[in-house]
Copies of this chain bind each other. A is one copy, B any other.
Amino acid sequence: MSLRHAVLGLIAEFRGSGYDLMKVFGKTLSHVWVATQGQVYTELNKLADDGLIAVSEPGPRGRKQYTATDAGRAELRHWLAETRPVPHPRSEHLLRVYFLGSLPPDQARDYLAWLGETHTAQAEQLRQISDELAGLTSDTSRYSRLVVEYGIRNAAMTAEWAAWAITQLGETEQHRENPGR
């Protein structure tokens, strides 16, 4: 039920419309949690039915403004303080690495090189976001800075690992080319 808490948390922090939320999911949260428009609008209606958020009367373009209720904020704090995430690992890139033995070595290397390049680029991109955030000192931006820093470290670690993995393949390759040496 994490999508529910993602939506609830955003309303508690920023208040706004479903449209506003979709912009946050598309930018700030895009490397943390993905959500589709259909999901967000459906969840907002469910949260309102359950009394965790309150809806304003529809404004100009049918726009609805949502705000967190006391019950909503309590539920958010309960989720954060009294529950712990259970891991659901689902890493397509590691799954592919696991099966890379089905490919000729040079194609396996291509995949690892591609992984390294995309993550190097991602680290660079996140460093720019981090620099932009560094200027602000709001309460909200404090924790989002931690999240961005995690992204940078994760991307850098993945790129380094990919480079190391390629050297490992090279070494075992040589053993095969010169067996018994």
| Chain A residues within CB distance 8 Å of chain B | 2, 5-6, 9, 12-13, 29-34, 73, 76-77, 79-81, 84-85, 87-103, 107-108, 110-111, 114, 139-140, 142-147, 149-150, 153-154, 157-158, 160-161, 164-165, 168-169, 172
Known: A84-B114, A157-B157. A95 touches B143 (CB 8 A): no
Looking at the assembled complex, report how far the CB atom of A166 sits from the nearest CB atom of chain B, in whole angstroms. 10
Chain B residues within an 8 Å CB radius of A32: 89, 91, 94-95, 98
Chain B residues within an 8 Å CB radius of A85: 92-93, 96
- Do B91 and A103 touch (CB < 8 A)? no
- Do A101 and B5 touch (CB < 8 A)? no
Where chain A touches its partner, the secondary structure class is: helix
Looking at the assembled complex, report how far the CB atom of A88 sits from the nearest CB atom of chain B, in whole angstroms. 6
C-alpha gap A140/B172 in the complex (Å): 12
Known: A91-B32, A142-B172. A99 touches B150 (CB 8 A): no
- Do A99 and B76 touch (CB < 8 A)? yes
